[in-house]
């Protein structure tokens, strides 16, 4: 079994000693009960990986000897998920699922029909998503933690689509009214994909028009209607099979 991954802001050079403390150290020492002699994979969350061995353990802190250090190649195409805010009880689940499925960036979106409203608590809510993404990245042993951006409004999403299309990206808005299929989009050779997932209540007509006019393809993901909290993970799985990501 591969070594457990934990994150440091900076991974030192081979031969050095690293200290894992704070929330990561407490999780490693108290929850995972990692002890002296056990292997741990360290990462900075931006692609750096290092094999290490625990040389000292306390209740909320581990000391580790760095054995080697390398940089993991990023997958291609890079995938950004624009996620309309799910209901409270499924909000962080959506982040966990798409992180485990391989999302590279996550954009929370205050769409018109979102039941959740972050207007008064956006900073706190975004931080919760960032914590959820980090925890899910650790669970799935990812060298890259997805970047969770600040809250976007529809006007921001439209600007993002225009920029992405100008750079040659495929932009797919997943919706039951789509005339085409997700699997028919031209993914060959693209370096970036943007997935747009609407809220439980669906995208309203003005949003669909705005997304399409900005260059997004309105497409069907599959034969069934998925919940907003699971749609991105399913799309990422399909992309894994359709592109070199897997």
Q: pLDDT digit string (tens) for 201-213?
A: 889 999 999 999 9
Q: What is the pTM of this model?
A: 0.93
pLDDT computed for residue 172 by the predictor: 98
Q: What are phi and psi of 198, to 5 degrees?
A: -80, 175
pLDDT digits (tens, 9 = 90+) for 84-97: 999 888 999 999 99
Above 80 in pLDDT, residue 1? Answer: no
Looking up tokens 């999780």, which residue turns up?
27
Q: Which two three-digit tokens encode residue 93? A: 């689940």
How distant, in Å, are the alpha carbons of 84, 94, 142, 165, 218 from that of 209?
16, 25, 36, 16, 10
pLDDT at site 237: 97
Residue 2: the pLDDT is 60
Rg for the chain, CA atoms, rounded = 20
pLDDT of residue 32: 85
Tokens of 225: 């209607």
Quick count: other Cβ atoms within 10 Å of Cβ 206? 10
C-alpha distances in Å from residue 116, one per residue of 41, 105, 121, 199: 37, 21, 11, 9
96 vs 225, residue with greater confidence: 96
Of 112-116, 215-219, 234-238, the range with the lowest mean pLDDT is: 112-116
Half-sphere exposure of 80 (CA within 13 A, CB side): 20
Give the per-residue SS3 of the chain: CCCEEEECCCCCCCCCEEEECHHHHHHHHHHCCCCCCCEEEEECCECEEEEEEEEEEECCEEEEEECCCEECCCCCCEEEEEEECCCHHHHHHHHHHHHHHCCCEEEEECCCCCCCCCCCCHHHHHHHHHHHHHHHHHHCCCCECCEECCCECHHHHHHHHHHHHHCCCEEEEECCCCCEEHHHCCCCCCCEEEEEECCCCCCCHHHHHHHHHHCCEEEECCCCCCCHHHHHHHHHHHHHHHCCCC
Looking at residues 110-120, what average pLDDT do you find? 92
Contact 30, 59 (CB under 8 A): yes
The pLDDT of 208-235, averaged and rounded, is 95
Which neighbouring-strand residues pair with 40? 4, 52
Report the pLDDT value the prediction gives residue 225, as an integer from 0 to 100.
Answer: 86
Across the chain, what does the average pLDDT equal?
A: 94
Residues paired with 63 in a beta bridge: 19, 56
Name which of 141, 143, 200, 148 is nearest 175 in CA terms. 200
The answer to whether residue 44 scores a pLDDT higher than 90 is yes
Confidence grade of residue 59 (pLDDT, cut at 50, 70, 90): confident
Question: Domains plus CATH for the chain?
Answer: 5-71 (2.40.240.20), 78-242 (3.40.1280.10)
Please name every residue paired with 62 in a beta bridge, in sequence order, or none if there are none.
20, 57
């Amino acid at each position: 079994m591969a070594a457990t991954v934990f994150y440091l802001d900076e991974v030192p050079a081979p031969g050095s000693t690293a200290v894992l403390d704070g929330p990561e150290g407490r999780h490693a020492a108290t929850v995972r009960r990692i002890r002296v002699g056990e292997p741990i994979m360290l990462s900075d969350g931006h692609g750096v990986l290092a094999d290490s061995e625990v040389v000292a353990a306390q209740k909320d802190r581990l000391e580790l000897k760095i054995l080697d250090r390398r940089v993991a190649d990023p997958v291609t195409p890079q995938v950004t998920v624009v996620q309309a805010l799910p209901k409270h009880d499924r909000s962080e689940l959506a982040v966990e699922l798409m992180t485990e499925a391989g999302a590279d960036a996550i954009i929370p979106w205050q769409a018109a029909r979102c039941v959740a409203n972050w207007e008064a608590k956006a900073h706190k809510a975004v931080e919760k998503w960032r914590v959820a993404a980090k925890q899910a990245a650790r669970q799935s042993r990812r060298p890259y933690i997805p970047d969770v951006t600040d809250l976007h409004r529809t006007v921001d999403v439209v600007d993002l689509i225009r920029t992405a299309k100008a750079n040659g990206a495929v932009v797919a808005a997943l919706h039951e009214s789509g005339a085409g299929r997700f699997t028919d989009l031209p993914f060959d050779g693209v370096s970036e994909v943007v997935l747009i997932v609407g809220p439980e209540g669906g995208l309203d007509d003005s949003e669909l028009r705005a997304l399409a006019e900005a260059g997004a393809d309105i497409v069907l993901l599959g034969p069934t209607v998925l919940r907003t909290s699971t749609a991105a993970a399913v799309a990422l799985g399909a992309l894994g099979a359709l592109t070199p990501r897997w």
